Amino acid sequence: GAVVSQHPSWVICKSGTSVKIECRSLDFQATTMFWYRQFPKQSLMLMATSNEGSKATYEQGVEKDKFLINHASLTLSTLTVTSAHPEDSSFYICSAKTGMNTEAFFGQGTRLTVV
C-alpha cells in the first residue's frame, strides 16, 4: 500500500510555544489530507480536512486559530499547534487520500506532550 510518513513521531514542548507536525505522502499525490486527534483508549476524532491549495475545513469545536493546517503541496500537509498548553497533549494522526472514494492511508502518528 501507499506510504504516509508523519514527523516527528513524538515531541515535547513547553507551554506557550508552537509545534509543527508534518504529514507526507511518499509515493502518491494526496489531494486530501485529514488530521485526527486520539485520546488514550479512545477513538480517532477528526479535527480537519485539508485539500491541496485551499483552506482547511475544520470540524465543529476545533479552534482553527490554534490548530493551523497548511496543505501547500500534493505531498505535504502540516499541523501547527500554536501556543500549546498541557491540555493539547495528545496523539495526532494524519491520513491521506488520492480521491473521493479511495482508501485512506494513515501516518504513524505523533505523540505531543506539552509541559
**Distance in Å, CB of 83 to another protein, minimum:** 26
**Which grid cell is 87?**
491540555
The one among 46, 62, 68, 74 contacting another protein by CB under 8 A: 46
> What span, in angstroms and rounded, lies between the C-alpha atoms of 95 and 86?
24
> What span, in angstroms and rounded, lies between the C-alpha atoms of 103 and 115?
36
| Cβ atoms 31, 96 nearer than 8 A | no
Residues 82-101 that bind another protein (CB under 8 A): 91, 93, 95, 97, 100-101
Which lies closer to another protein via its Cβ, residue 28 or residue 91? 91
Number of other CB atoms surrounding residue 51 within 10 Å: 14
The one among 11, 13, 44, 68 contacting another protein by CB under 8 A: 44
Which lies closer to another protein via its Cβ, residue 24 or residue 97? 97
Strands (E) across 59-107 are located at: 67-73, 76-81, 90-97, 105-106
Site of interaction with another protein (CB under 8 A): 1, 32, 34, 38, 41-44, 46, 49, 91, 93, 95, 97, 100-101, 103-104, 106, 108-109
